[in-house]
């Protein structure tokens, strides 16, 4: 996969002008969030740049991008005839921009590619991603999520990986407590899941272990008593977790989460973290009979030993408690019941609508019955 042009550190957004000049860009398609664009301080920066460059801004979409909103963006992008594309915002903003950029030049309608009936053939325009949250790590991945009729799809292609990334932690300094918590715990879940994924490599484990260390050391502070150091560390951590899942993709906690988000309105970070501690225990107890990782039981057992070490825990029970405590410390919920998911019917519905593609990356096989048990225990 290609290497990204990467700029990081406080003030690194100043590099944007050089990127525009190098790309010979006169007209730029700018995908932004609604509130985050102003809150992050980005609006002022772009106002200054608009003296030199023309921007067409698109922000007409909600969190967890829907297909209809994507179509609107593609329409506008095609008509606008822009030279390059820039996304500045959280994971949903960057994912939306990725999909607009990659699906606009293709010959057939977007749904054909999203559902995997056709493969993407044409590369989009030069794409710069600038995260304003420390969470999804979308700036570092070659896939993007979109919901069609409440079903989650992830389009993956090497062309989707942003060409340039600006990781300016200053844009995250004014994040609300809640967004810091929700995005930070998403980064944490992604790092942990990547660590135990069947697709892990030495490189991905290096990224995810660094992310886990940074998050356990800084998330609580970034949420409850933020200073620039904790914000800077969280920004780096989220990007590292993104780089890790770019190699491995996510596993069971993400696979189970999408229905909680699309049907019950549970925010992504909350939804992925709610089963993370339980899956730590479940995956830890992998056996010859139910292992899915081709490297074998002893390899996976060693991975979990290392992971528990990273979490500062001696036993899996301690590791489980550590994760639950981290979630509590940042004022998020640790039970499904608290998220409005409480009946046997809800549990059945969630277990019947698991994302099987992401579940395939989990190191231990999971039957519907086992999942029901895990969810029931979580009420
Ligand atoms: Fe995520």
Please report the domains of the chain, with CATH numbers, ordered by start residue: 5-172 (3.40.50.1970), 177-377 (1.20.1090.10)
Rounded to the nearest angstrom, the distance between the alpha carbon of 247 and the centre of ligand 1 is: 14
Rounded distance, CA 152 to CA 306, Å?
Answer: 32
The CA-to-CA distance between both ends of the chain, in Å, stands at 42
Q: What is the pLDDT of residues 52-95, one digit of tens each?
A: 999 999 999 888 889 999 999 999 999 999 999 999 999 999 99
- At residue 59, φ and ψ (nearest 5 deg) are -140, 20
Rounded to the nearest angstrom, the distance between the alpha carbon of 342 and the centre of ligand 1 is 23
DSSP string of 206-264, one letter each residue: HHHHHHHHHHHHHHHHHHHS--HHHHHHHHHHHHHHHHHHHHH---HHHHHHHHHHHHH
Distance 129 CA to ligand 1 centre (A): 17
Phi–psi pair at 89, nearest 5 degrees: 160, -160
Q: Which two tokens stand for residue 241?
A: 């977790």
How many angstroms separate the Cα of 279 from the Cα of each of 72, 141, 335, 344, 354?
38, 24, 14, 20, 14
126 Cα to the center of ligand 1, angstroms: 25
Q: Sign of the C-alpha dihedral, residues 200, 202, 207, 210?
A: positive
Give 63 Cα–ligand 1 centroid separation in angstroms: 13
Supply the DSSP string of 125-192, one letter for each residue: -EEEEEESSSS--GGG-SEEEEEETTEEEEEE-GGGS-SEEEE-GGGGTT--HHHHHHHHHHHHHHHH
Q: How far is the CA of 272 from the centre of ligand 1 (A)?
A: 7
Could you tell me the distance, in angstroms and rounded to a whole number, from the CA of residue 265 to the centre of ligand 1?
15
DSSP 64: S
Q: Which residues of the chain have pLDDT under 50?
A: none
Q: Give residue 303's pLDDT.
A: 98
Cα(311) to centroid(ligand 1), Å: 19
Q: How far is the CA of 190 from the centre of ligand 1 (A)?
A: 6
| Residue 26 DSSP one-character state | S
Task: Say what the alpha-carbon torsion angle 217, 233, 333, 323 is, to the nearest 10 degrees.
Answer: -40
For residue 64, what pLDDT is reported?
82
> How many angstroms does the Cα of residue 18 sit away from the middle of ligand 1?
31
- The predicted pLDDT at position 310 comes to 98
Using the mean position of ligand 1's atoms as its centre, give its distance from the Cα of residue 80 in Å. Answer: 31
Dihedrals φ, ψ of 142, to 5°? -105, 25
Measure CA 187 to chain center: 7
66 CA distance to ligand 1 centroid (A)?
A: 16
**Ligand 1: distance of its center to the CA of 22 in Å?**
33
**Which one, of 147, 367, 366, 379, lies nearest residue 274 by Cα?**
379
125 and 85 Cβ atoms separated by less than 8 Å: yes
User: What is the reported pLDDT for 1?
Assistant: 75
- Using the mean position of ligand 1's atoms as its centre, give its distance from the Cα of residue 121 in Å: 27
Given this model, what pLDDT does residue 356 score? 85
Q: State the distance from the centre of ligand 1 to the C-alpha of 48, rounded, in angstroms.
A: 33
**pLDDT reported for residue 22:** 97
Q: What is the 137 CA–ligand 1 centroid distance (Å)?
A: 8
What tokens appear for 66 in the block?
């829907």
Q: What token pair was written down for 110?
A: 């977007």
> Ligand 1 center to residue 136 CA distance, Å?
5
**Centroid of ligand 1 to alpha carbon of 148 (angstroms):** 18
Q: 138 C-alpha to center of ligand 1: Å?
A: 9
Question: How far is the C-alpha of 337 from the C-alpha of 284, rounded, in Å?
Answer: 25
Structural tokens at position 253: 């906690």
Nearest to 140 by CA among 244, 17, 250, 261: 244
Say how many residues make up the chain: 379
Distance 220 CA to ligand 1 centre (A): 19
Pairing of strands 54-58, 126-131: unpaired
Of the candidates 122, 49, 146, the residue with the CA atom closest to the CA atom of residue 88: 49
Token digits of residue 131: 């995260």
In b/e form, how buried is each residue of 229-240, taking b as 16+ CB within 10 angstroms? Answer: ebbbbbbbbbbb
Q: Which of 48, 113, 61, 68 is nearest to 91 (CA)?
A: 61
pTM for this predicted structure: 0.96
Residue 266, token pair as written in the block: 């549970």
pLDDT digits over 147-194, tens only?
A: 898 888 999 999 999 999 999 999 999 999 999 999 999 999 999 999
CA of 270 to the centre of ligand 1 (A): 10
Distance 266 CA to ligand 1 centre (A): 13
């Amino acid at each position: 996969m290609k290497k990204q042009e990467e700029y990081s550190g406080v003030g690194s957004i100043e590099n944007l002008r050089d990127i525009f000049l190098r790309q010979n860009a006169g007209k730029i398609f700018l995908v932004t969030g609604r509130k985050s664009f102003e809150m992050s301080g980005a609006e002022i920066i772009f106002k200054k740049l608009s003296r030199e460059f023309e921007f067409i801004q698109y922000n007409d979409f909600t969190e967890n991008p829907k297909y209809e909103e994507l179509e609107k963006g593609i329409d506008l992008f095609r008509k606008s005839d822009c030279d390059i594309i820039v996304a500045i915002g959280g994971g949903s903003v960057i994912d939306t921009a990725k999909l607009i950029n990659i699906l606009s030049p293709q010959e057939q309608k977007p749904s054909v590619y999203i559902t995997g009936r056709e493969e993407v053939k044409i590369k989009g325009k030069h794409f710069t991603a600038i995260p304003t949250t420390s969470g999804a790590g979308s700036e570092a991945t070659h896939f993007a999520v979109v919901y069609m009729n409440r079903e989650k799809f992830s389009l993956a292609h090497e062309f989707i990986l942003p060409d340039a990334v600006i990781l300016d932690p200053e844009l995250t300094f004014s994040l609300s407590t809640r967004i810091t918590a929700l995005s930070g715990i998403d980064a944490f879940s992604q790092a942990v899941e990547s660590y135990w994924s069947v697709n892990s490599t030495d490189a991905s484990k290096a990224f995810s272990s660094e992310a886990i260390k940074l998050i356990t050391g800084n998330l609580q502070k970034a949420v409850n008593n933020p200073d620039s150091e904790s914000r800077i560390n969280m920004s780096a951590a989220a990007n590292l977790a993104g780089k890790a899942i770019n190699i491995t993709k996510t596993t069971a906690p993400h696979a189970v989460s999408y229905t909680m988000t699309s049907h019950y309105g549970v925010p992504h970070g909350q939804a992925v973290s709610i089963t993370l501690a339980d899956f730590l225990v479940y995956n830890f107890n992998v056996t010859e009979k139910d292992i899915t990782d081709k490297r074998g039981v002893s390899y996976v057992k060693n991975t979990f030993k290392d992971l528990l070490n990273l979490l500062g825990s001696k036993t899996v029970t301690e590791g489980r408690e550590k994760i639950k405590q981290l979630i509590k410390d940042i004022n998020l919920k640790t039970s499904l019941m608290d998220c409005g998911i409480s009946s046997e019917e809800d549990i059945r519905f969630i277990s019947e609508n698991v994302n099987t593609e992401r579940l395939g990356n989990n190191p231990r096989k999971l039957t519907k019955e086992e999942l029901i048990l895990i969810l029931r225990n979580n009420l």
